[in-house]
Amino acid sequence: MAERKRPGDDAAGDRPEDEAYTDSDLQDGAIAAADEPEGRGGDKAESGGVATKREGRRGGNRIGGFFREVVSELRKVIWPTRKELLTYTGVVIAFVTVMTTIVALLDYGFGKAILATFGN
């Protein structure tokens, strides 16, 4: 199945998350050091004792960075068309209605069976 092109995609492979790793890279740990986030999870001694600019920033940059990442991820989303959205909504409503009916009937049946067994 062909991958759909996302809006805002330039050339393939421009983003770091597009890098492909082989199973041998994962098993050998070749990419472990490159994938670890900087400045998280411990003191400077664990990360080699060198502080970076990223580690020194605190407060407002975290919030701004979070929202920049959210907007970036939302640009990657392939949004459904109006027709697809209505179709999916109809399927969900029908499924929920059927399941609610089944549970209600089972509840009613088990209730009657318990009352018949143990009486009033």
* Mean pLDDT in order along the chain per 10 residues (120 residues): 56 51 53 51 52 56 92 94 97 98 98 90
CA pair distance 109, 102, nearest whole angstrom: 11
Q: What is the pLDDT of residue 27?
A: 53
Query: The whole model's pTM is what?
Result: 0.42
| Nearest alpha-carbon partner for 9 in 79, 75, 81 | 75
The CA–CA distances, whole Å, from 113 to 49, 105, 117, 118 equal: 70, 12, 6, 9
Q: What is the pLDDT of residue 61?
A: 84
- Count CB neighbours of 84 within 10 A: 10
Q: What is the pLDDT of residue 18?
A: 47
Q: What is the pLDDT of residue 105?
A: 98
Place of tokens 């009486």: 119
